[in-house]
């Protein structure tokens, strides 16, 4: 997030609020944009960007507390299907799960999902979000493609196979 700070010289105005400067003489106004990191950031690293029907999608989740004090927040996931629809239609694929990180702490977890044998072929986008659910402080995503295979297995729904976050 970018924050705009204004300064218009002695007695005129300063800060991030509304600033009105009457230009009745030569005056200077300075605008400064500062990058402000969210309280907590999320980074997703997938094992692969191509997964077969009946196969397994794995990703490493890295959460970083960018503040000088402990943060409690939620982590949750969802995805968009090849047709652009949100999945699951209601709720989340995983979470929301409460995480607490100390000041400056980084934590990671590994999640795996079984790809259903009936999943549509095509490109999906997987999203990981952090914040006080459902408010998003930060989000990361990656795309992956579901392809056909000779041994598609019998899995009928998206299934969380490994959850290193809640152990």
Same domain, yes or no, for 151 and 113? yes
Same domain, yes or no, for 24 and 96? no
Please give the share of the chain, as a percent, with pLDDT higher than 90. Answer: 57
CA separation for the pair 155, 146 (Å, rounded): 14
pLDDT value for 10 = 62
Same domain, yes or no, for 104 and 132? yes
pLDDT higher than threshold 60 for residue 86: yes
**Higher confidence at residue 159 or residue 128?**
128
**Higher confidence at residue 135 or residue 164?**
135
Structure tokens at 64: 């970083």
Strand ranges in the chain using DSSP code E only, listed in sequence order: 2-7, 14-15, 30-35, 40-46, 50-52, 56-65, 71-80, 86-87, 94-101, 106-114, 122-131, 138-147, 159-163
Same domain, yes or no, for 99 and 134? yes
CB–CB of 78/84 below 8 Å? no
- Is the Cα dihedral 89, 95, 98, 99 positive or negative? negative
The pLDDT confidence band at residue 167, using thresholds 50, 70 and 90, is: very low
Give the model confidence (pLDDT) of 27-48 as tens digits: 777 777 665 657 899 999 999 9
* Average pLDDT, integer, range 141-160: 74
Within 9-118, residue ranges assigned H as helices are none
The pLDDT confidence band at residue 152, using thresholds 50, 70 and 90, is: very low
Same domain, yes or no, for 25 and 56? no
Same domain, yes or no, for 94 and 156? yes
pLDDT value for 117 = 85
Structure tokens at 70: 């402990």
Please tell me whether the overall predicted TM-score, pTM, comes out greater than 0.75 for this model: no
* Average pLDDT, integer, range 41-57: 94
How many domains in the chain? 2
**Higher confidence at residue 150 or residue 106?**
106
CB–CB of 65/39 below 8 Å? yes
Same domain, yes or no, for 31 and 46? no
**What residue numbers bound the domain in which 25 lies?**
2-35
CB–CB of 128/141 below 8 Å? yes
Q: What is the DSSP letter of 157?
A: S
């Amino acid at each position: 997030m970018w924050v705009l700070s204004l300064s218009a010289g002695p007695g005129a105005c300063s800060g991030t609020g509304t600033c009105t400067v009457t230009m009745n003489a030569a005056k200077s106004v300075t605008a400064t944009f500062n990058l402000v990191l969210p309280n907590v950031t999320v980074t997703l690293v997938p094992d692969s960007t191509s997964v077969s029907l009946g196969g397994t999608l794995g990703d490493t989740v890295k959460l970083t507390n960018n503040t000088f004090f402990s943060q409690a927040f939620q982590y949750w996931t969802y995805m968009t299907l090849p047709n652009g629809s949100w999945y699951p239609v209601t709720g989340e694929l995983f979470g929301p799960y409460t995480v607490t990180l100390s000041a400056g702490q980084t934590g990671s977890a590994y999640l795996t999902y079984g790809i259903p044998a009936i999943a549509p072929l095509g490109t999906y986008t997987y999203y990981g979000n952090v914040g006080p659910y459902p408010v998003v402080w930060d989000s990361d995503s990656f795309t992956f493609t579901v392809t056909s295979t000779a041994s598609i297995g019998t899995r009928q729904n998206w299934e969380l196979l490994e959850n290193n976050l809640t152990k």
